[in-house]
Each structure stands twice: as structure tokens, then as C-alpha cells.
Amino acid sequence: MTRTAQELKREVAQAAFDFIAPHLDANAVLGIGTGSTANEFIDILGQSDVSFKSAVASSEASAERLRSHNIPVVELNSVDRIAFYIDGADEANAHLELIKGGGAALTREKIVAAASDVFVCIADESKEVATLGRFPLPIEVIPMAERLVMTALGALGGRPVLRAGVVTDNGNSIIDVHDLHITAPKALETTLNQITGVVCNGLFAHRGADILMLSGESGVRVLRAS
Ligand code: 5RP
């Protein structure tokens, strides 16, 4: 029987939980991402009796969901290091480079990923692509720089579209860049970081995933960064 999208998310979240649980102890701090797949992981974690200390959340929404399970949520500034970061993605390639930010949480997600020893990315296999860019690339922008940044993004060959009505947890805007064919993700990530007014871009190439778990009809595939 064909699995629903929800079942695929649940299965990959369960696989991630099963993978990390044996490595946790009472001092472990977890990084928790944002989105419907990350939500499945939060619910599995919250219903488990696995021992860990606390969680750092990549969004206010995830922090709230964690607290609803009585999981202690702490600020990143209060922890030395995060053992595992578990989060979804909008696209992933074979090098475990990602596009993230469909849920507008990319900046905090990139910060938590940078502070984590192991980034476990969880998604269903519809997110797997040969070349990143089919999903519009989210860019977080200081609101007063929207027009300036959109002009610069257009000059790079993309088609920037302001995400209407969205304000990030950091008080900024999101521009989605359509029609990109990203053959050099690391170089593009660096270039986008140089645009004045850009807070963060949704390419996770310099710090991609360490482990990518993809659920599909035949189960969960696990890819590791080489
Ligand atoms: C949020 C993200 C999410 O990880 C991404 O959008 C995937 O979400 P979902 O698990 O709901 O498909 O980057 O900013």
C-alpha cells in the first residue's frame, strides 16, 4: 500500500530517533529544526523516555512544540556544543548539500547546524534532486534592503519573488529565488553572503548534512557525507 506523505515523514523521523537515541546521555543537548518533518521528530522524542538534557530550537514554533512535550528549551548561548541537529530540508543532493528555508527559519537553522557535531537531515525522497534549484532558494533579508537585494539577485540570473506577508522570527523578510540551476552550491552560497542586506541564504553547502535519511516506498535510505 502506498504510504502517505505524513507516514513517510513519520518513518524518517523514527529512523533518525533510532539512530541517535543510543548515543544520548543525561548531558546531551539536541538541536531541533523546523517544519513538518522536524515536528514528527519532536513528537517521537517527546513520547520517548530517552535521556538527554535539553534542546536548542531553530524557531519559535519548534520551541513551543518542544515545550508542549515538557522538553527543556535552552538558548544556544547557554550551551557549549550540540551533539545532534535533526532537521528537514526542501532539497538535498548526493553531496548532502541542501536548500532550506521553506519554513522561513533558515537563519536560525544555519546557526544551530554550525554549532552541532552531527547534522542529521530527514526528508522523504521527493526532496532528492540531482541539481539544487528546482525549489526556490529562500533568502532572509533586512526589510529596508528588499529592493536592493532583489536587483542583485536578478543580476545573478535568478527570478526573485518577495514572500508576501512573511516576517521571520528575526523580524526580517524572505525573498524566494526561482529558476536557479545550482551547479556550484558552495560558490553560490559564498556569493549570496556578500550581498549587502542579505542576512542569510538557504543554501547549506559549506555546512551541509553529515547524514541524510530519505524515506520512500522501500524504506529509509541513509547517505553519509564523504
Ligand atoms: C524550514 C525548513 C524545513 O526544514 C523545510 O522547509 C522542510 O520542511 P518540511 O519538513 O515541512 O517539508 O527549512 O525553514
Q: What is the pLDDT of residues 144-170, one digit of tens each?
A: 999 999 999 999 999 999 999 999 999
Ligand 1 atom at minimal distance to the Cα of residue 101 = 14
Is 109 tagged catalytic? yes
Atom of ligand 1 nearest to the CA of 38: 10
Q: Is the dihedral of CA 9, 168, 90, 199 positive or negative?
A: negative
Q: What percent of the chain has pLDDT over 70?
A: 100
pLDDT computed for residue 150 by the predictor = 98
**pLDDT classification of 226: cutoffs 50, 70, 90:** confident
Q: Is the pLDDT of residue 8 over 80?
A: yes
pTM: 0.97
CA 60 – CA 68 distance, rounded (Å): 12
Mutate which of 34, 99, 132, 163 for ligand 1 pocket (most atoms within 8 A of beta carbon): 34
CB 20 within 8 A of CB 86: yes
Query: Cα(37) to centroid of ligand 1, in Å?
Result: 7
- Which position among 11, 97, 109, 140 bears the catalytic label? 109
pLDDT higher than 80, residue 1: no
